[in-house]
Amino acid sequence: MAEKKATKAAATTTKKAAAPKKETVKKAAAPKKETVKKVATKAVKAALVINAENAGFKAGDVYNALAAAGKALSVAEIAKAAKISNEEVILGAGWLLKEGKIKDAEGKIVLA
């Protein structure tokens, strides 16, 4: 009986050994894609030129925006209406304040 067990064990090992091995085939690697690095671009802000001529033009823009609105506006509202920056609104408002054309009304700017 011991012989039968030994024979069966030998037969199973030979069956396992006789099983054909799978060949591993190396596949060609796909070409690597180039990675493109995206860089965020910053908006370039135009330099504000401060001279009498520019201040006068910005004062005109501020005055026209206030006249068209007919009510008190904040600096941001004037900038949006006149399509100029907040700094340019402040420059023009300074000119108009000096001339007495505008005044402060509850934190907003209104025509005098």
pLDDT 10s digits, 34-73: 776 776 766 667 788 889 999 999 999 999 999 999 999 9
The more confidently predicted of residues 20 and 47 is 47
Of the candidates 20, 97, 106, which has an alpha carbon nearest to the alpha carbon of residue 63?
97
Q: List the CATH number of the domain containing 105.
A: 1.10.10.10
More confident residue, 31 or 65: 65
Domain span at 70: 52-111
**pTM, whole model, 2 decimals?**
0.60
Joined together, the tokens standing for residue 63 give 């005055």
pLDDT at position 23 is 67
- What's the pLDDT at 59? 97
Residue 91, domain member (yes or no): yes
Is residue 67, in this structure, part of any structural domain at all? yes
* Closest among 101, 88, 87 to 109, alpha carbons compared: 101
